[in-house]
Structure formats: structure tokens, C-alpha cells
Amino acid sequence: MAEDTEAVRRKIVTMHEKLGELTHYEILGVKANLDQTLLDAEVAKRFRELAKEWHVDRFSGYDIGADKQKVQEIFARINTAKQVLGDPDKRAMYDMELAGENVDIGSILTAESAFRRGQTMLDSGSYKGAHEQFKIACEENPDDQEYFAHFLYTEFLLLPKKKDGSPEDRSRGKEIYDELDKLVAQLPDRDWLLCFLGVVAKSLGKHREAYALFMEALQHNPKNVIAKRQERLMKMRREQKKGFFASLKEKLGLGG
């Protein structure tokens, strides 16, 4: 038992010495590039495993003396890693710190508040107010892709449109389309972003692409209101076209 106890104490000391070098991801043994849903599952699994290994009760059968304090500190660090990585906002800030970015809590909170106000205005159809709020969010936190996507989309909504719904400044409309398309490539599972691109594509006359984007958005989120409405409208448009051509063929005597 003396040898076992000594081995256990060496293990505790070794782990305790590493605490200052390991990231939260390394402490838990999870990959840093996982999306939040997958990460949550991995964090929960690894925390259960590590809790069994490092909870102080696990060492009740060993005479570890003063190393008991080290075990408590190890477990506290494991718990902190779980809390940080399990919260999307805390994880985002932690990732910024790891990247060496200057984390200004005030700017982050200001940006998030402006973004939430912008979302409310967008939902109510107040596009100008929403665009102004998204601009504030982008200025306070220029690295956030979600803020930038909303800023671009509301800019497009504010562009003067022709009677057919296409933008008068087609050049700028195409630029916004290209920017949103790049963001979709980076964030392919965001149903709202697919809808944004779909609305812009439809306005630019890319109807087939727009329809495909709305259908893809519904695959990610069957409850997406914009995608459901647009998919229904585009189906009605198709049926109206079919009806028109069928009627025309009948008038011309071209029916089967």
C-alpha cells in the first residue's frame, strides 16, 4: 500500500504542476474546433470521467496528506473548464483570450445589447433601426460573423428596389450576395443565414438557388418562419406559371 500511495501522490503532484500550462480544452481532453452542440456532449462525457478520477473522495483510501489540497485544486480547475466551455458566451471570450486578442468586456456587452435590439427591430420590420444597431454591434465587436451577416442583410433590405423586387444598385446587391455566400461557407449550419442568402438570391433573380437555400434552411430548422413562407410563395409562383402556360397552350391549340 505504501508504494501505491506514493505512486498516487506522484500522479497528483504531476497533474497539479501542469494546471498552469493546460488550456480548458486540454484539461478536459476535448477538441477546440467542435461546434457547441458536439462540444457540450463531449464536455459532459469527459467531466463525468474526470470527476471519477479526481474527486477528493476517490483518494479517501490513501494517506495523501497535504496533497489533498492539490486534488481539490485539480478538481476545481476541471469544474471551471466545464463551466466555461459549456457556456457559449464564456467559451467565445475564452477563445479570444487564447488567440491573444484584447478582450474588452464593455465592448462585448455593448455589442451584444445592440445586436439583440437589432434582432427585435428586424423581426418587427424596422430595417433602418435594425441596420443601425447591427452597425454598432459590428463596430464594438468587428470579428463576430453573425453581427456582420445581419449588418449586410439589413443593408440589402434597405437598398431601393425596382417593381420586380430587384435592387436598383445591382452591383451592390451582388457584392452583398458574395459576402453572405462566403459567410455561409464558414457557417453552413445556420438556417437564418441560409435564409438571408436565399432572400438576396431571389431578389437578384436566382430563383432556383434561392429555393434550394430555403429548403436547406428548413432541413436545419423545420420551424424557420422565413424559409417556410418563402418556400410556399415560390411554389405558388411555380404553379401560377404552369397554369399560365397550360392556358396559353390550350388557346393556341397545342394541348395534348
- In this predicted model, which residue has the larger pLDDT, 101 or 156? 156
What is the C-alpha separation between 177 and 132, in angstroms, rounded? 20
Which architecture, in CATH terms, is 2-98? Orthogonal Bundle (1.10)
Cell of 46: 469527459
Give residue 254's pLDDT: 55
CATH class of 104-157: mainly alpha
C-alpha to C-alpha distances, 16 to 55, 70, 198, nearest whole angstrom? 14, 6, 52
Q: For the segment 215-234, what is each residue's pLDDT rounded down to a tens digit?
A: 999 999 999 988 998 878 87
Summarize the confidence of residues 135-150 as an average pLDDT: 93
pTM, two decimal places: 0.57
Q: Which residues of 152-167 are buried (b: 16+ CB within 10 A; e: fewer)?
A: bbbbbbebeeeeeeeb
Q: What is the 3-state secondary structure (H, E, C) of 92-150?
A: HHHHHHHCCCCCCHHHHHHHHHHHHHHHHHHHCCCHHHHHHHHHHHHHHCCCCHHHHHH
Q: What are the start and end residues of each CATH 1.10.287.110 domain in the chain?
A: 2-98
What is the C-alpha separation between 104 and 126, in angstroms, rounded? 29
What is the C-alpha separation between 60 and 16, in angstroms, rounded? 18
Q: What is the DSSP letter of 30?
A: -
Give residue 245's pLDDT: 47
**How far is residue 217 CA from its own chain's centroid?**
14
- In this predicted model, which residue has the larger pLDDT, 163 or 251? 163
Amino acid at 7: A
User: Which residue in 187, 185, 186, 217 sits closest to 199, CA to CA?
Assistant: 217
What is the C-alpha separation between 245 and 256, in angstroms, rounded? 13
Q: For the segment 23-47, what is each residue's pLDDT rounded down to a tens digit?
A: 999 999 999 999 999 999 999 999 9
Angle at 146 between CA 94 and CA 30, to 5 degrees: 35
Q: Write the CATH number of the domain with boundaries 159-256.
A: 1.25.40
Q: What are the start and end residues of each CATH 1.25.40 domain in the chain?
A: 104-157, 159-256
Note the helical H segments in the chain: 2-18, 24-28, 36-54, 67-85, 88-98, 105-123, 127-140, 145-158, 170-186, 191-203, 207-220, 225-251
